[in-house]
Amino acid sequence: MYAITSLVASGSASDFAEFAHFASPADQWGVLSSFMMGEILFITMALVALVHAIRRGRGHLMLWVGALVAGTANDLIFIAMPLVDNFWHSQGTIMLNPRLPFYIPCVYVCFMYYPTMAARRLGMNRWSTAALSGLGGIVFYSMYDIVGAKNIWWTWHDTDLPIGDRILGAPCSSSLWVITFAGAFSLLADVTLRKHPKPSWGRFFGGLGIIAAFATLVMMVQMFPLQQVDGGAPGYGALAVGFGVYTLVFVIGLARSSQPAFVVDADPRDRMVAAAVGVYFVALFANGVVSDPTKVVSRGVHQEVGECYVEQSDITGLTRDRYLCLTDYEEDFDFSCAEAPPEHGDSWYTICGTPHENRALFTAGIGGIGVVGLLFFGAIFRVRPSAGRDRSSDSDEDDSTTT
């Protein structure tokens, strides 16, 4: 049913005649090598997180499954809604359907599981833990948002106002969404895990239900007032306010905590994920530095081409152009590698990567994010709360008898 809905949102079924669930790795490497390295990285990171979750216990496993379910559902919801529908993934090595690469659920696991399980180690109150999870989410995600966009792992709607203000190619609204969605996920997971760090199976599935049902809603409740800072389309101001509020909540909660101080001593059970996060930032930075976007050729689902300046309203009520106008667009691709530009009505066509406008700035930007990420997660994973403070510890006793 979803596959049909997504096709209706982006063109007729005939546009997808070339679609295949599996692509040849050799062919994929030839035209989308940066993307393929990203796929491998995120799938590996998700598997490492799964091993860690199983080793740590049922509470951590609930975080992993919850991130997978809530994140994937969020992606499917916003792809299927015609009033949103403002991004298009390139065709991956493994595709779940024409709009969803297999690695995308793994991305959700990564930017929600790692920051949330790390924040829970500090044993803070519910709100501060959620705030730190949101901040950790954007630290984890932002380099991916920049490297992926430049190397056409996906494309954005050309005239959608909520994604108009961008930092190194990454929309401010995307960053704000990550902060609020990761924070919402952490907050909802805490409903179950604060009292039951190793939940019974009944509480496990009940907690999953809460996360899946309300994560997107809680994110949207936060996004609505924040986007009013910029007049309805979240931009630089909304991102600054959102980041500032989350930082303030974290700092106040940490300062007011009555629990014992931290002990500088890494928890051996978390060394695996600490190392994995370090590898992630180094690998993604290397991807961004060595990849040549001019070699990128992405044939697949993109914004439908059509008559210029045909207006429609998005989910916020703002106006955008319905179609990609071939003679007036600002996205970071062209058609120089294609046999011919797409025609009106096409939503499956070939686009080509373009050179860096300022490679030094791009490299410095992702390098700076990498350093912040290594310091941020390195500090969290290095400290161990004194006895009684670590909210992430799964109890040795299953509380199933109290369900």
Cα three-residue angle 157-158-162, rounded to 5 degrees: 65
Crossing angle of helices 25-56 and 58-80, rounded to 10°: 140
* Residue 334: DSSP 8-state: E
Q: What was the pLDDT predicted at 159?
A: 94
| Residue 324 is assigned to a structural domain of this protein | no
Q: Could you report the per-residue pLDDT of 336-370, keeping only the tens digit for each?
A: 999 999 999 999 999 999 999 999 999 999 999 99
Asked if residue 13 has pLDDT above 70, the reply is no
| Residue 347 is assigned to a structural domain of this protein | no
- Report how many domains make up the chain: 1
Domain that holds residue 282: 2-10+21-292+358-386
**Which DSSP string do the residues of 173-227 spell out, in sequence order?**
HHHHHHHHHHHHHHHHHHHHHTT-SS--HHHHHHHHHHHHHHHHHHHHHHHHHHH
| Residue 393 is assigned to a structural domain of this protein | no
Question: Which structure tokens are listed for 117?
Answer: 């399980």
- The model's pTM is 0.90
CA dist 323 and 311 (Å) reads: 8
- Dihedral Cα 380, 381, 382, 386, nearest 10 deg: 80
Place 1 in a pLDDT band, splitting at 50, 70 and 90: very low
Q: Which stretch, 69-78, 230-239, 279-288, 393-402, has highest mean pLDDT?
A: 279-288
Asked if residue 294 has pLDDT above 80, the reply is yes
Question: Which structure tokens are listed for 203?
Answer: 């509480």
CA dist 134 and 356 (Å) reads: 30
| Residue 118 is assigned to a structural domain of this protein | yes
Interval 159-168 mean pLDDT: 94
Neighbours of 308 (CB within 10 A): 13
Of residues 394 and 191, the one with the higher pLDDT is 191
| Residue 107 is assigned to a structural domain of this protein | yes
Q: Could you report the per-residue pLDDT of 195-213, keeping only the tens digit for each?
A: 888 899 999 999 999 999 9
Interval 15-28 mean pLDDT: 89
Q: What was the pLDDT predicted at 176?
A: 97
**Cα–Cα nearest to 351, from 15, 19, 2, 32:** 32
Q: Which amino acid is at 55?
A: R
Q: What is the mean pLDDT of the chain?
A: 89
| Residue 91 is assigned to a structural domain of this protein | yes
| 8 A C-beta contact, residue 106 and residue 46 | yes
Q: Which amino acid is at 171?
A: P
Q: Could you report the per-residue pLDDT of 74-96, keeping only the tens digit for each?
A: 888 877 776 678 999 999 999 99
| Residue 329 is assigned to a structural domain of this protein | no
Place 254 in a pLDDT band, splitting at 50, 70 and 90: confident
Q: What was the pLDDT predicted at 269?
A: 78
Place 266 in a pLDDT band, splitting at 50, 70 and 90: low
Of residues 7 and 146, the one with the higher pLDDT is 146
Q: Which amino acid is at 199?
A: P
| 8 A C-beta contact, residue 331 and residue 357 | no
Question: Which structure tokens are listed for 91?
Answer: 């065709």
